[in-house]
Every structure is written in structure tokens, then in C-alpha cells.
């Protein structure tokens, strides 16, 4: 098994110390594995897509615009 060094903010380290019984390396391992699985699924879906980068960028802009309007309206209420 390969070892990896992980840097974390001091504040998170202080909070981790409060839960000494947790195997933090296992938590990190599982989180990394889950992220890899998520990315693999996304790659599989994307590889079958016929959308171009331009299409994706345009969809992204529309989503951001709509979300921005909703958040603005929510904040006004």
C-alpha cells in the first residue's frame, strides 16, 4: 500500500483531536474511493454524450443565470 501525506488546516486538526477513536486515515481512504467512483461514473456518462464543450458551457451559463435569479428572489423575501 502506498503512503500519502495530507495537509489539513489547524482548525480541522483541533476538531479531529476531539474524536480520537475515529480512524481518520480510513475516513480519508473512503472519501477518496467514493470520489474516484463518482468521477468514473461521470466519465462513463460523458463518454457517451454527443454534447460539445460549447453546448456544455451554454447549458452551464443558463443554469447559473436561473440559480442566480432564484437566490436573488429568495434573498429579497
For the stretch 14-32, pLDDT in tens is 999 999 999 999 999 999 9
15 within a domain of the structure (yes/no): no
Quick check: 13 pLDDT over 90?
yes
Domain boundaries, position 42? 24-76
43 within a domain of the structure (yes/no): yes
8 within a domain of the structure (yes/no): no
11 within a domain of the structure (yes/no): no
CA–CA dist 54, 69 (Å, integer): 23
Confidence of residue 76 (pLDDT cuts 50, 70, 90): confident
51 within a domain of the structure (yes/no): yes
Q: What is the mean pLDDT of residues 32-42?
A: 96
Count how many domains the chain has: 1
Q: What percent of the chain has pLDDT over 90?
A: 66
Confidence of residue 69 (pLDDT cuts 50, 70, 90): confident
Rounded (5°) CA angle 15-19-23: 110
3 within a domain of the structure (yes/no): no
62 within a domain of the structure (yes/no): yes
Amino acid at each position: 500500500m502506498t503512503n500519502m501525506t495530507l495537509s489539513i488546516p489547524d482548525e480541522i486538526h483541533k476538531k479531529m483531536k476531539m474524536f480520537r477513536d475515529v480512524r481518520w486515515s480510513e475516513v480519508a481512504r473512503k472519501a477518496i474511493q467514493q470520489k474516484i467512483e463518482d468521477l468514473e461514473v461521470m466519465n462513463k456518462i460523458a463518454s457517451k454524450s454527443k454534447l460539445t464543450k460549447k453546448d456544455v458551457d451554454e447549458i452551464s451559463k443558463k443554469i447559473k443565470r436561473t440559480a442566480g435569479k432564484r437566490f436573488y428572489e429568495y434573498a429579497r423575501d
